[in-house]
Amino acid sequence: MIPELGNFALSLAAVLALGGSVMGLAAPRDDVLQRAAMSMVFGQWAFSLLAFAALVYAFVADDFSVAYVANQSNTLLPWYYKVSAAWGGHEGSFLLWILIMGCWMAAFSLRSGQYPLHFTTRVLGILSLLNLGFICFALFTSNPFLRLIPLTPADGADLNPLLQDFGLIVHPPLLYAGYVGLAIPFALAVAALLEGRVDATWARWCRTWTNMAWAMLTCGITLGSWWAYYELGWGGWWFWDPVENASFMPWLAATALVHSLSVTENRGTFKSWTLLLAITAFSFSLLGAFIVRSGVLTSVHSFAVDPERGMYILIFLALVVGGSLSLYAARAGQASARIGYGLLSREFFMLINNVILVVSLAVVLWGTLAPIGYEALTGGRISIGTPFFNAFFVPLGLLLLAALAFLPVLNWKRTRVEVLGGVYQAMGIAAVLGVCVWFVLDPASIVVASAVALSAWVVLTHAKQLSLRLRRGRLPAAYLGMTLAHFGFAMGTLGIAVTATQSTETDVRMSPQSSVELAGQQVTFTGVIDVLGPNYSAQQGIFILTEADGSNAYELRPEKRQYFAGGNVMTEAGIAAGFFADTYLSLGEPLEGGAWAVRLHYKPLVRWVWLGALLMALGGVLAVFDKRYARQRRKRPVADADPVTA
C-alpha cells in the first residue's frame, strides 16, 4: 500500500511539474498566476518528499515485494544501512536526485523575494520543465516502486558490501546536491537569455546559487575520493575512472563559472562567456548522469545497465543542450559588452584561469569518451590510463598555481607594475623552499619541488594581502572566502603532488610475530583472529605499529570480510591516520603456515588532498555571506521588470 502511495505521489509531482513549467514559461503578468506557479513548485517538493519517504519506509519495513528493495536490502542489514540503501542503486538514487531538485527549487522560491516576480516565475518554469524530465525518467524507465508479486522473495539480495559504509550515507546526497544545484545557474542563464538581460544584479543572484552548488559538488567529490581510499582497501584515492570523471567534469565547468561570474558581477564583461559556462556546467552534470546510468561503461560505482534508460537520458540531454545552445546562439550577441582591460589585471588572470579549466575539461572529456568512441567505431577495446591524465594535469595544475600567485595584488582593469615587488619577494622565498625540498626529498622529482615552491608562493602572496587587509580593518566575507579557497587549492595540490610521488607501497609475506620496516616505522604482525559482524564474518589481522625505537605503539586491525547474503569478499584496510602521513595496511590472502600476504602503504600528506578540497568548499560558502548579498536580501523586492523581452 505505502509503495503505491509513493508511486502516486511521484505521479502527482509530475503533473505539478507539467503545470509549473507551462505556467512559468508562459510567464504570465498576472500576480495570481505567478503565485500559482510558485505554489506548484512547493507541491513538487512536497510530493517528491512523500515518494521518497514511502521508499525509505519500504526499506525499513523490509518489504521485499518491492523489486528494488529486494535487490538492494536484506533483513540482516543494520537499520541505518537500510535507510541509506534507499539510494544505493539506480532507481532509488534517482528518486533522491528528484527530491534534491525539489529542495533546490523550493529554496529558490523561498529566497525569491529579492528577484522581480516575473523573472522568478520564468526561472521556476524552466526548473519545473527539467524536473518533469527527471520525474518521467523515474516513472517510465526506472520506477523504484515496481512490485514482485506473486514471486515475492523471502529475503533480499543484500546491499553491495562496498556501499555498506558511512561514506555512502553522505556521499550521494552531497554529490547530487551539487549536480542538481547547477540547474539553478542554468535556469537563471536561460531565463536571462529569454529576457535578453544580463547585468551585475543578475550575476550577483547567480553567484550565490553557483557557489552553493559548487561547494556541495566539491564536498561530494571529496567524500567520494575519501570513501574510495578507505573502503576499496587498496589505498588509491583517485582512479581517473569514468564515473569519477563524470563528477569531475561539471566541477571543472562550475569552477570556471564561479570565477567568470565574479568578473561579470564586478566589471560587466565576460557576459556571454558566463552564460555559456552556466549552460555547460549543467550539461556536463547531465552528461555525467548519462555516462553513469546508461551502462555505456561499467566501473567503480556504476549503477544499472539498461539501454532504454540510456536512450532516454541521451534524448533528454540532446534536448536540453540543443535547446539552450540554440537559444544562446540566437540571443547571446545582445549580451556582449566591450570593456577593455590590460594584461596585468584581474580580468586577464581570470581569463587564464578559465582557459586552463576549460582545457582540463576537454582533457577529461576526451579521456572519458575516447574509449567509448573507439569501441563504437571499431568494436575493439582500449583503456586510457593515468599517465594520459597526468601528462596534462601536472603542467596545467602548476600553471594554475603560478597564475594564482599573482591574483591577490591585482586590481580590476589594470595594475601598476610596481606592486609586483611583493610577489617577486614571495617568489624568492618560495623558490628557496622548493630547492631545499628538492635536495632533501628526492633530486629526481622536480615536479614535487615545483609544486611545493608554487604552493608556498600562492600561500605567501595571499597571506600578505590578507594581513594588509586585516590591518586596514576591513575584511569582507567574499575576500576571506576567496583567500580560504585559494589556500585550499594550494594545500590540495601540494598534497596531491607529495602523496602521488612520495608514497611507499610494498606487498610482503608476513608470518605471525614477524615484522617489517615501513618508512622508519616498525610493523609487527601478531596474527589473525576470526570475528563476527552483524551480516558478515571476518578474519582480522592484528598489527602493532611502533616507531623505530619501539615507542608509540599503535594497533591496526585490517579485515578480510565475507558477507553472508551475497558471498562477497571485502578488504577492510587498517589505517593509522595522521595530519602529515597515513600508514595503511590491508590483508591480501592467506598463505601456508599462518602467513599472510600483506600490503603496506605509507602515504605522506594524503589527508591534505581532502582537507584542501574542503577548505575550497568552505571558502565558496563563506563568500555567499558577503555583505553585498545580504544587502540584496534585505532590500524590498524590486518592482516587476519592464517588458524588455526581445
Partner 1 sequence: MNPKRKQRLYLTLFLLLVASGVTALLIQISGENMNMFYPPADVVSGEAPVGETLRAGGMVREGSVVRSSNDLGVTFVLTDHQGADFAVEYTGILPDLFREGQGILVEGQLNAAGVFSATEVLAKHDENYMPPELMDLQGMEPPATPKSVMPGYPSAQSKADTATDRTHDS
Q: List contacts with partner 1 (CB under 8 A).
A: 67, 70-71, 88-90, 148, 151, 153-157, 160, 162-163, 232, 234, 236, 239, 241, 295, 297-306, 338, 355, 359, 362-363, 366-367, 370, 380-385, 387-388, 391-392, 504-509, 560, 566-571, 586, 588-589, 591-592, 597, 599
Which residues are CB-neighbours of 452 under 8 A, at least 6 positions away?
Answer: 433, 434, 437, 494, 497, 498
- Dihedral class, residue 158 (left if φ above 0, else alpha if ψ from -120 to 50, else beta): left
Helix (H) or strand (E) holding 547: strand 536-547
**Given the complex with partner 1, which of 303 and 438 has the nearer CB atom?**
303
Q: Dump strand ranges (E) for 274-379.
A: none
CB of 171 or CB of 462, closer to partner 1? 171
Residues 598, 585 contacting (CB under 8 angstroms) = yes
What's the min distance (Å) between Cβ of 464 and partner 1?
Answer: 32
Q: Rounded to an integer, what distance in angstroms lies between the CA atom of residue 318 and that of residue 4? A: 32
CA distance linking residue 609 with residue 601, whole number of Å: 17
Q: Which sign, positive or negative, has the C-alpha torsion 425, 431, 433, 436?
A: negative
Q: Cβ of residue 100: shortest distance to partner 1, in angstroms?
A: 20
Question: Closest distance between partner 1 and the C-beta of residue 284, in Å?
Answer: 17
CB of 73 to partner 1, least distance (A): 12
Nearer to partner 1, 559 or 626 (CB): 559
Q: How far is the CB of 258 from partner 1 (least distance, A)?
A: 22
**What does the alpha-carbon distance between residue 503 and residue 232 come to, in Å, rounded to a whole number?**
18
- Least separation in angstroms between CB 78 and partner 1: 19
**Would you say 129 or 350 has its CB closer to partner 1?**
350
Least distance (Å) between residue 26 CB and partner 1: 37
DSSP 566: T
Count of beta carbons in the 10 Å neighbourhood of residue 337: 14
Minimum CB distance to partner 1, residue 289 (Å): 15
Looking at the Cβ atoms of 61 and 300, the one nearer to partner 1 is 300
Q: 150 preceded by cis ω (within 30°)?
A: yes
Nearer to partner 1, 148 or 431 (CB): 148
Q: Which is nearer to partner 1, 388 or 412 (CB)?
A: 388
CB of 131 to partner 1, least distance (A): 25
Residues 88, 85: Cα–Cα separation, whole Å: 4
Q: How far apart are the first and last CA of the chain?
A: 51
Write out the three cell numbers for 376. 563504437
Length of the chain: 646
With respect to partner 1, which residue has the nearer C-beta, 333 or 643?
333
What's the grid cell of residue 549? 625505537
Any residues with CB less than 8 A from the CB of 115 and at least 6 apart, and which?
Answer: 123, 205, 637, 638
Nearer residue to partner 1 within complex by CB, 282 or 303: 303
DSSP class per residue in 443-458: TT-HHHHHHHHHHHHH
How far apart CA 432 and CA 451 sit, in angstroms, is 13
Which H/E stretch holds residue 201?
Answer: helix 200-231
Among all chains, which residue has been given the C-alpha cell 561539471? Answer: 250
What kind and span of H or E run contains 530? Answer: strand 521-532
CA dist 645 → 195, 204, 642 (Å): 5, 21, 9
Q: Distance between CA atoms of 210 and 254, rounded to whole angstroms?
A: 7
d(CA 23, CA 30): 11
Decide whether 383 or 552 has the Cβ nearer to partner 1.
Answer: 383
Query: Using only C-alpha atoms, what is the Rg of the chain?
Result: 26
Provide, rounded to whole angstroms, the least separation between the CB of residue 587 and partner 1. Answer: 9
Give CA separation, 495 vs 241, 502, 604, in Å: 20, 10, 8
Query: Which residue, 163 or 281, has its beta carbon nearer to partner 1?
Result: 163
C-alpha cell at 231: 573502503
Distance in Å, CB of 372 to partner 1, minimum: 11
**Minimum CB separation from partner 1 for residue 387, in Å?**
4
CB 604 within 8 A of CB 499: yes
Other CB atoms within 10 Å distance of the CB of residue 348: 18
CB 234 → partner 1: shortest distance, Å? 6
Q: Which is nearer to partner 1, 384 or 419 (CB)?
A: 384
Residue nearer to partner 1 on the CB measure, 65 or 515: 65
**Which residue lies nearer to partner 1 by CB, 6 or 89?**
89
